[in-house]
Amino acid sequence: MKFHKEGIATLLVTILFSTIIISIAHFVFPTFAIAHWFAYLLSAFLLVVVIQFFRHPTRVHTINPNAIIAPADGEVVVIEETEETEYFKDKRIQVSIFMSPINVHVNRYPIAGEVTYAKYHAGKFLVASLPKASTENERTSIVVKHATNGKSILFRQVAGALARRIVMYSKQGDIATQCGEMGFIKFGSRVDLYLPLDAKLKVKIGDVCVGSQTVIAEF
C-alpha cells in the first residue's frame, strides 16, 4: 500500500491544521483536558480520512487485449445505449461507475492503444448520479484507439458535488498501457465509458468493480 502523489499537498495542509488546533487547545485551554482530547481526536480523524482516500494499493492487473478493464473502483450505476455527442457522434453503450469517498480514486486506462483525443471541460458540480452530470459537470474526455483491432472507446472522468479537482495525465498522441494510470479524481465522483455497440458486456447494474481488475466488456 502506498500514498498517492496527488494527496501530498492535502496531507501537508491537514498536518498543519492539526498542529494549529492542538497548539490552540494547549495554549488557550492549558488545564481543560476535554479540549486537548477533542483536538487530538479531530486531528487523528482528519489524518485517517486523508490517508485512506489517497491510498494507492498494489494490485495484480488484468491484462487482456480482448477485454475492456474497469478504469476505476466503484459501483456500476448506468448501462444504457446512448448518443455520444462530443467525439463519436453516434450510438454507444454507456457504462458508468460511481466512486464513493471510500473507494480508491486512481483512474486507469481500460485498453492499450493510442490516445487520439484528450480534453478537459470546466463545468458545474452537480450530484454525480444525475444524468446531466456527464455533460454539465467538470469533466475530461479521453479516447483511446485499440492497439490491435483499431476500435476506439471514450471514457470520461466526471466531477461530483464533492469532487473539485480532476487530474488528467493523458495527452493526445500518448501511448496508453492497459491498466496504466491516466488520472485521479479527488473526493468521489464517477467514470463513464462509451463502448462500441457490439461490445459484449460482462457486468450489470449494481456490480462492484475493482479498477484494473474487473472486466467490463469484451470486443
**DSSP, residue by residue, the chain:** -EE-GGGHHHHHHHHHHHHHHHHHHHHHSTT-HHHHHHHHHHHHHHHHHHHHHTEE--------TTEEE-SSSEEEEEEEEEEETTTT-EEEEEEEEEE-TTS--EEE-SS-EEEEEEEEE--B---TTSTTHHHHBSEEEEEEEETTT--EEEEEEEE-SS---EEE---TTPEEPTT-EEEEETT-EEEEEEE-TT-EE---TTPEE-TTTSEEEE-
Residue 138: what pLDDT? 85
Residue 145: what pLDDT? 97
Q: Which of 56, 78, 95 is the last residue of a domain?
A: 56
Position 131 in a domain: yes
Position 62 in a domain: no
Q: Could you tell me the pTM of the whole model?
A: 0.86
Contact in structure between 211 and 104 (CB atoms under 8 Å): yes
Position 50 in a domain: yes
Instruction: Please indicate, yes or no, whether residues 176 and 118 belong to a single structural domain of this protein.
Output: yes
Instruction: Please indicate, yes or no, whether residues 52 and 72 belong to a single structural domain of this protein.
Output: no
Position 22 in a domain: yes
Query: How many structural domains are present in the chain?
Result: 2
Instruction: Please indicate, yes or no, whether residues 30 and 129 belong to a single structural domain of this protein.
Output: no
Instruction: Please indicate, yes or no, whether residues 36 and 83 belong to a single structural domain of this protein.
Output: no
pLDDT-above-70 percentage for the chain: 93
Instruction: Please indicate, yes or no, whether residues 32 and 135 belong to a single structural domain of this protein.
Output: no
Residue 48: what pLDDT? 93
Instruction: Please indicate, yes or no, whether residues 138 and 117 belong to a single structural domain of this protein.
Output: yes
User: Please, which pLDDT band fits residue 1 given cuts at 50, 70 and 90?
Assistant: confident
Position 145 in a domain: yes
Instruction: Please indicate, yes or no, whether residues 97 and 200 belong to a single structural domain of this protein.
Output: yes
Instruction: Please indicate, yes or no, whether residues 100 and 203 belong to a single structural domain of this protein.
Output: yes
Quote the mean pLDDT of the chain: 90
Instruction: Please indicate, yes or no, whether residues 40 and 109 belong to a single structural domain of this protein.
Output: no
Position 61 in a domain: no
Note down the domain range covering 206.
Answer: 67-218
Instruction: Please indicate, yes or no, whether residues 130 and 24 belong to a single structural domain of this protein.
Output: no
Separation between Cα atoms, residue 209 and residue 219, nearest integer Å: 19
Instruction: Please indicate, yes or no, whether residues 11 and 100 belong to a single structural domain of this protein.
Output: no
Instruction: Please indicate, yes or no, whether residues 49 and 122 belong to a single structural domain of this protein.
Output: no
Active site residues: 189
Is 69 or 160 the better-scoring residue by pLDDT?
69
Q: Mind listing the pLDDT tens digit for each residue in 10-57?
A: 999 999 999 999 999 988 888 888 889 999 999 999 999 899 888 989
Position 156 in a domain: yes
Average pLDDT, stretch 70-81?
A: 95
User: Please, which pLDDT band fits residue 189 given cuts at 50, 70 and 90?
Assistant: confident
Q: Mind listing the pLDDT tens digit for each residue in 122-176?
A: 877 666 666 666 677 788 999 999 989 999 999 999 987 666 678 999 999 999 9
Average pLDDT, stretch 98-112?
A: 92
